[in-house]
Structure 1
Amino acid sequence: MAYQLKNEHLIIDIAEPGDYQRTRFDWSGFITGTTLIQGNHTFCVPESLIPMQGTGGIGICNEFGLAKAIGYDEVGVGEQFPKLGVGLLTRTSDTAYEFNRDYPLDSFEISVEHSGPQSITFTVLPKDCRGYAVSLVKTISVENNRLIVDYCLHNTGTKGIHTHEYAHNFFGIDGRKVGPDYVLKFPFALRPWNDDKETMEGLSFHKGEVRWSGEPEEEFYFCLDGFEGQAYPWMWELLHEPSHTGIRELSKFSVSSVAVWGKGHVVSPEIFIELKLNPGDKKNWSRVYEFFTR
């Protein structure tokens, strides 16, 4: 059973934990659809338009430990390590951790409290793994034309936690192809970088704007350095100019890094937060999205 939040401005569709069964993205609060009622504009698209391709992402889905999984380097083949929001995964080889492959899974238990048409809370219950144990509470709510995702991470184990979290925002406005009609804005001058310069071909960067010269034929990708989110009124804005419709993220936290990925049908601005929790520590943060049409 899927869940839905609704007010006079937004309709938000959220998957039941376990509908997504891969081992990359957090199973709790997996947002598969966002609709702005004014104009009936939609924003969420799948990672790939080809069935069974990719890692199953869609809409607003977050991930912990993209580059380095907690405890992975401490275990041998056949032993478990935790993937926050997902479960205990089993290491299957001597090679480095790969975020885009599936590992044998012992999933976490997730409880759901749907408290009304405008709010829902997912609680991922801790399960000890050699001293690593974490509780995750995620509350999703709508307020006017804003979608709010509140996180609370509690280290209930005996070992410290050091990881990163980000939301892989798979956005395509009204299903329109990426190209010159789109602009991605940041509230500061851009210094994009990537070791593979080919991933930035077809993109132009001017002050705080990213534009496309045509519909991308290949995946594009670039990175930006971190910044203090409190210093700006918003973090990024994706606008489809002909329809005057867009999304902006209004989150307020210290950003460790930024990545932008996409291809012909999708643009994914990814804002990373660094998380360090000693045993017993709690960390709260929020992601706020504003959907608009002019």
Structure 2
Amino acid sequence: MIEIEAADQLGRLLAIMARLRDPQAGCPWDLEQDFSTIAPYTIEEAYEVADAIDRGDLDDLCDELGDLLLQVVFHARMAEEQGAFAFADVARTISDKMVRRHPHIFADASADDAEEVLRNWEAIKREERAAKGEADTSALAGISRGLPEWQRAMKLQSRAARVGFDWPGPLPVLEKAAEELQELREEFERGDIAGNQERLQEELGDLLFVCANLARHGGIDLGAALRGANHKFERRFRTMEARAADTGMALSALDLQAQEALWQQAKASEKKG
């Protein structure tokens, strides 16, 4: 019964998208879109899903997953209009891939733990790339360049670690981070920030790459860590604004010392809570 309802609702969504993209009677905005204009919305909706998960809001998660599903349907509809593929092809492709990459479930292979599952998964991916004629045999092959750079950094490091190229633990990574921070400090101390952008960017990149490695060694989701820091900053900043307003002042009218005092008050109020 549940499968029937899911199929019915999916069919309804596909019909709605087809109506929105109807050349004669469709929505003007939807008709103007193409893959490149919709791609940013797809990325944004994926992050909205992650945000709902971080907040533990399952009602919002249901809503955000619907928005993300709409993105898949939208792309599939545009592809169908071009005669490239349709939604059914998308579903068939991922279903075939999941069966193929889980031989310990759907065939006679075995996998005793999650690590072995991942190793088998990567081996199957390499076989798939070879079957397509891709000649890149590097351990780093197949890592998308379309990923957010922090996520790509962690994937590059994880792949390298699988062949033994890795720090023995988090403490040496912390030492490397301190070294990279010192190098960045030295570049700033040279002065002429505007004329030294290339070196500053390189050194900052090195530091961020090591921070990604540190997150990996700590088993920390770097994206979740940064989202948490963003949420914390936003929460405290809004508290600052509210406290300033309580005194009849706009936050922008206060000097940095007064603003810092409000920041410390916001932090203290969270500890009390």
TM-score by length of 2: 0.22
Normalized per residue, the structure richer in strand is 1
Q: Whose helix fraction is larger, Structure 1's or Structure 2's?
A: 2
Q: What TM-score do the two structures reach when normalised by structure 1?
A: 0.21
Larger radius of gyration: 2
